[in-house]
Amino acid sequence: MSFKNITRCGNLEFHWGERTYVMGIVNATPDSFSGDGNTDIETAVTQGCRFVEEGADILDIGGESTRPGFTEVSAEEEIQRVVPVIERLAARTKAPLSVDTTKYEVARQALAAGAAIINDQWGLKTESQLAELAAKNNVPIILMSNQRDIGGYDAAVGRDTANYSDVMAEVIASLRQSVKTAQQAGVPKANIILDPGIGFGKTWQQDIEIIRRLRELQVIGLPILVGTSRKSLIKMVLNLPANQRVEGTASTVAVSIANGADIVRVHDVKQMARVCKMTDAIVRGK
């Protein structure tokens, strides 16, 4: 990376550009597209602890599926799913915990339970108060470019659809607006992380284009998170079910790192931590 920002998260620091950080996905929901979701608290906690042992730097806990065509759940149900998991993980691991939510009250209670990062998959488009919450608690916030409000979903094929003249320009413009909203609420630049939103209102071809052109996103000057793990772009290329997309995920992770990713969000932590270490040795000389 061209910048030397350091993001502090609890007692830990992320030194962007020195290596790739691994975010392990803990789905506290029964309808995850990846097939690894569940609503049993202890199972989710055990999974999170295993991920840390396997190399996860951050754990991302979510209680609502964001798969195409997902069914929304209430804030109350989402809180019941994620807060007990966060409380137990906070007591059992030092890894920073991220709450994957778009709802203010879920994020507020998650932070009180021990979460240290807010991961907003709508980039403050739906709940701009999340920025105020991040500023008040001095925690990092991940802002994702979600085009589902201007794109669409094709139920017949079960995929996002969209039509852009330049998808990367749209992603950059969307994230610039999200960053502006965050900073106006008092979030310091060092606490903002960007996510181009693979699969959220983009076709699988556009997802691949975003990975190919990822370095263009560095124009904003903030760390970049990429989440390609087991997603439909891999299905479309390899024609494999979600639980057989490890190699496809590894390819997207390696190329994303080569093109500027600082964090990768993954289901298969052990394998992707190895991919990151090998890719960093080549790309970063580490």
- pLDDT, tens digit (0-9, with 9 covering 90-100), for 44-60: 999 999 999 999 999 99
* Structural domains for the chain: 6-283 (3.20.20.20)
pLDDT at residue 154 tops 80: no
pLDDT at residue 70 tops 60: no
DSSP the chain: -----EEEETTEEEEBTTB-EEEEEEE-STT-TTS-----HHHHHHHHHHHHHHT-SEEEEESS--STTPPP--HHHHHHHHHHHHHHHHHH--S-EEEE-S-HHHHHHHHHHT--EEEETTTTSS-THHHHHHHHHT--EEEE---TTTSEEETTTTEEE---S-HHHHHHHHHHHHHHHHHHTT--GGGEEEE--TTSS--HHHHHHHHHTGGGGGGG-S-BEE--TT-HHHHHHH---GGG-HHHHHHHHHHHHHTT-SEEEES-HHHHHHHHHHHHHHHT--
pLDDT tens-digit readout, 194-233: 999 999 889 999 999 999 999 999 999 999 999 999 999 9
Q: Which residues are catalytic?
A: 231, 265
Q: Give pTM, 2 decimals.
A: 0.91
Predicted local confidence at residue 34, as pLDDT: 46
